[in-house]
Amino acid sequence: AQTVTQSQPEMSVQEAETVTLSCTYDTSENNYYLFWYKQPPSRQMILVIRQEAYKQQNATENRFSVNFQKAAKSFSLKISDSQLGDTAMYFCAFRWAGTASKLTFGTGTRLQVTL
Amino acid sequence: GAVVSQHPSWVICKSGTSVKIECRSLDFQATTMFWYRQFPKQSLMLMATSNEGSKATYEQGVEKDKFLINHASLTLSTLTVTSAHPEDSSFYICSARDLEDRDPDTQYFGPGTRLTVL
C-alpha cells in the first residue's frame, strides 16, 4: 500500500517570498505519478502540478516547481513570488500508473500568505 | 475543458431520509469517476470508484448499502446516502478522469457537496 506524508500541518509566508512544502511517500512501485493539488477556501480542488516518476526533470508551472528525488521518495513543492491567492490547503498525492489505480492523498499543509 | 460539476452544492436533510448527489463531466466522457469524503480540516478519503456500466468498487470500511453509487452514463455518476444520520454530515467530492485527454492520468475534481444531516 502507498502512503503519502506531509509533515508540515501549517506554514506561513510573506507576499513575494518563496516557500517550500514538503512531501514524502512510500511505495514499492517504479512507475507512478505525483501531484500537488490546491484547495482554497472555496474547497474546489485545483491541480497545481504533476510529475511522472520516469522523468528525471523536475516539473514546473509558472511560479510552481517541484524537487523530485525518486531515490529519497521526496516530492516538495516550491512556490515563488507568493501571492495572496496562494493561500489554501495543499495536498500531495500519489497514483500508481495502472489504469485502474486511485489517488492517495497526504494530510495536507495549510499555507497562509501574509502581507 | 475538463470541467466537473456537482449538484447540489449544499443540502440539508432530516435524519432517516435519503439524499442523492450528482456528479457530471461537462465537456468530456468519464468512464471512471471517484467519490471522496472530506471532514473539516482533514484530507480526502476515497469512498469508491465508479465505473460506467458496472458496479462500483468500494474502499474498505465503506458501507455499500448505505452509499449507493450509480454510473449510468459516461457523463453522470450519482451518490445516494441512504437513511442519513448526523454522522454522515460531511463534504463529498467527486472526480473524473478524461481518458481522451492529453493527460488521461489526471483527475479533475468537482466543487463538492456539503451535506448536513439534522
Per-residue pLDDT tens over the stretch B1-31? 688 999 999 999 999 999 999 999 998 888 8
Q: To the nearest whole angstrom, how far is the Cα of A108 from the nearest Cα of chain B?
A: 6
Which residues lie below 8 Å from residue B25, measured CB to CB, with a gap of 6+?
B2, B3, B4, B33, B74, B75, B96, B98, B108
Q: For residue A33, which residues of chain B lie inside 8 Å, CB to CB?
A: 105
Which of A10, A45, A96 to mutate to probe the B interface, most B CBs <10 Å? A45
User: Exposure string (b/e) for A46-64, b if CB count within 10 Å is 16 or more?
Assistant: ebbbbbebeeeeebeeeeb
How many whole angstroms separate alpha carbon A72 and alpha carbon A24? 8
Question: Residue A33 is nearest to which of B43, B44, B105, comparing CB atoms?
Answer: B105
From B36, B15, B47, select the one nearest B111 (Cα to Cα).
Answer: B36
A23-46 pLDDT, tens digit per residue, is 999 998 888 999 999 999 999 999
- How near does any CA of chain A get to the CA of B30, in Å? 13
Q: Do A105 and B95 touch (CB under 8 A)?
A: no
pLDDT of B102 higher than 80: no
Identify the residue whose cell numbers are 516538495.
A76
